[in-house]
Structure 1
Amino acid sequence: MTLSAADPRSCSLREAANQLNVPEGWRVEIVGSGLVVSPTPLGRHAGIIDDIAEQLARQLRDDRAALQNIAVEGVDDGEDYTIPDLTVLPAAVKFEDDWLFPADIVDLAVEVVSLSNPNNDTVNKVQEYAEWGIPVYLLVDPRDGGIVTYSDPVDGEYRAQHKSRFGEAVQLPKPLADVSIDTAAFTRYGSGRP
């Protein structure tokens, strides 16, 4: 990943992110005031996200949508932005021509832990999403079959955590208290076919 000829010290992080020459299929985020470049997810990772998206689509109100790879930024958080694997936000976003949306319209961010950079999902984004006030952060970890539902962000921290395991139903908290996720089909990395 290289910057163009522009001196990176003379541009903002957003400008630097836009100038990065990343391989096809890779994506750039600014998390914790640092550039994070991630590869295309594994098939198992994408399959879990697709399964969650299908379940959410059947349960969400008509004015909400579950969209993959929507960029989200903190309202008052400088240049940081992330691209959650899945985001629940107003359905009207589907008709916008923008690529970046404020965190204060997000009900849920979902991340499936990446093998290439697990700390980005398990540490950095937990802090970032809490600071941004995203009501629910669902963290699915195919490395060990664990799921953590973070909720109730106050003063930059999630006050509630609920741990589950693959195979258990996950009941989401407010504002999605009428939504549950069936994880019976989720499989761990390296487990072969289900």
Structure 2
Amino acid sequence: MPRMSHLYRIMRDFVLSLDDTLPGQFEVTREGIVHDLMAPVRPHQLTALYVRERLDQLLPDGIVAHMGAPDVEDFFEGIMRHPDVMVIAEADMEGDGAFDPRTLVAAVEIVSRSNPENDWVGKIRDYPLLGIPVYAIFDPRTGSGAVFTDIHPTPAGPRYATRKDFGYGEDVTIADWTIPTDGLPRYADDSTAQGAS
């Protein structure tokens, strides 16, 4: 097992010790602990479910669109994240502990109304560091999203080279599979439903 830094171990142990005792979701990045204070609302969860179901209809045997635990974790990078939907081989889900992020075919995030920067900034930075080849974002605030691919080296570390934007109602390709985005729910209009970060 790769050696984790002392600081990462402290943050990781703290997040794991919370074990649903505080509201919201906690993740660990190089910049520290990210806390999405609000529990996911219905449109968030329903979007994740619809995307998972639409992918599942297309995926070959042995590949699944998975929602739920565990996290993905890279000790060396000091990052522990929790994608809303993970496209992964069933064989790579076996065993104990967090998933190896480099086994993911794709990660899908539904933008949080309370912390959109986590999906639009933090995870765009972290997912290529973790070696996740495809990152798709669905934003119920705006009825739009983007798919990021083609990891390449930069002075700031690995980054996605290609971004393809889409609007709800268009088909979107995630890795090798194209799904419709019609009928995906939107957040109710309020002061947080401004454009994507």
Q: Same fold by TM-score, threshold 0.5 exceeded?
A: yes
Unaligned stretches of 5+ in structure 1? 1-8
Structure 2 CA distance, aligned partners of 1:42 and 1:99?
A: 27
**Number of the residue aligned with 1:160:** 162
Structure 1 residue corresponding to 2:116, chosen from 96, 115, 118: 118
Are the equivalent residues in 2 in contact too, given 1:112–1:142 (CA < 8 A)?
yes
What are the equivalent positions in structure 2 for 1:42-81 lying under 5 Å apart? 42-69=41-68, 70-74=70-74, 76-77=76-77, 79-81=78-80
Q: Any residues of structure 2 matched to 1:170-185 within 5 Å, and which?
A: 170-172=172-174, 176-177=175-176, 179-185=177-183
Task: Give the count of matched residue pairs.
Answer: 178
Distance in 1 separating the partners of 2:151 and 2:18: 33
Instruction: Indicate the SS of the match to 1:101.
Output: coil
Higher relative contact order (CA 8 A, sep 6+): 2
Between the aligned partners of 2:23 and 2:56, the Cα distance in structure 1 is 25
Q: Corresponding residue for 2:91? A: 92
Query: After alignment, is 11-20 or 181-190 more displaced?
Result: 11-20
- Tell me the CA shift for residue 18 of structure 1: 2.2
Q: Which amino acid aligns with 2:74?
A: G
Q: Give the conservation status (yes or no) of the 8 Å contact 1:25–1:40.
A: yes
> What do the CA deviations read for 1:46-101 (whole angstroms, capped 9, x no partner)?
01110011111111111211111341123631x3110000001111245x352411
> Secondary structure at 2:99's aligned position in 1?
strand
Show the counterpart of 1:169: 171
- TM-score when scaled to structure 2? 0.82
- The 1-side partners of 2:101 and 2:72 are apart by 6
Question: In the alignment, is the contact (CA less than 8 A) between 1:75 and 1:104 conserved in 2?
Answer: no
* TM-score (normalizing by structure 1): 0.83
RMSD: 2.3
- Matched residues in 1 for 2:19 and 2:52: separation? 30
Amino acid of the structure 2 residue aligned with 1:114:
S
| Residue identity (%) | 30
Distance in structure 1 (CA, Å) of the matches to 2:23 and 2:63 = 27
Structure 2 segments unaligned to the other structure (5+ residues): 1-6, 190-197
Q: Distance in 2 between matches of 1:161 and 1:37?
A: 26
